[in-house]
Each structure stands twice: as structure tokens, then as C-alpha cells.
Amino acid sequence: MKMSTIKNIKATWVYDNRAYVYELVSETLTINDQLGTSRFELREVDGEDSNLEIVIILREQNQYHFKTDYYDDPTEEWSLKSFQSENELILYYDGRHGIAYFHLVLGD
């Protein structure tokens, strides 16, 4: 998958039995197909959290990772599981920082 096909991103993060819903901050999506990266900011819907800066990295075909400025080490990468259909890609993280779903809407 080419990162340049990403048209929108939403996320849900579950931590300490509480769900947080995020949406893409307009004009923040930056894609580099050559490096296989997508950098963007997410804003918590109906919340008070600061925006999260997220980078999704495609290491090899269908092997995704992410990193964020939210944690102590913004360079540390976290592995993602992926599920793809024709028009969307779901990336899933389950680890010590909770559970996160990144829903990427794809287009031409």
C-alpha cells in the first residue's frame, strides 16, 4: 500500500478501561511514500488532551509500526497489526500503553 492513498485518519485508544476517540487535525497529514511514512496530528474528540503527533511507518509490505510524542521516548517504535480492505486500513496496537485502533480511509 502506498501511504499517499490515505485520505483520512481516525483513532480510538483504550487505556485504564476508558476509551478516547481522536480525529485528524486538518492540514497535518504529511506523507512520504519513498520512506514509507505518514506523519499527522490527532485531536481528542470531546476531550482535553493535547494533540498527539503520530508517525506510522511501513517497514516491509504489511509490517507497520508507529511512534508518538506522547510517550517518554518519542523515537521508540511500537508494532502494529494490520487489516486491509479495498478502501480502508485498520492498524491495531495492544501493549503496555493500552489498545489503539487507527482507521485509515484510503482513496485513489
Spatial distance between the Cα atoms of 91 and 81, rounded to a whole number of angstroms: 6
pLDDT of residue 89: 95
Specify the DSSP element, H or E, that contains 8.
strand 6-15
Spatial distance between the Cα atoms of 75 and 71, rounded to a whole number of angstroms: 9
pLDDT tens-digit profile of 2-14?
889 999 999 999 9
Q: Which of 49, 44, 7 is nearest to 23 (CA)?
A: 44
From the candidate CATH numbers 2.60.40, 3.40.50, 2.40.128, 1.10.260, the one assigned to the domain spanning 3-106: 2.40.128
Cβ-based burial of 2 (10 A; exposed 0-12, middle 13-18, buried ≥19): exposed
pLDDT tens-digit profile of 17-33?
999 999 999 999 999 99
Spatial distance between the Cα atoms of 42 and 25, rounded to a whole number of angstroms: 5
Backbone conformation region of residue 17, classed left if phi is above 0, alpha if psi is from -120 to 50, else beta: left
pLDDT tens-digit profile of 35-88?
999 999 999 998 877 889 999 999 888 899 999 887 777 788 999 999 999 999
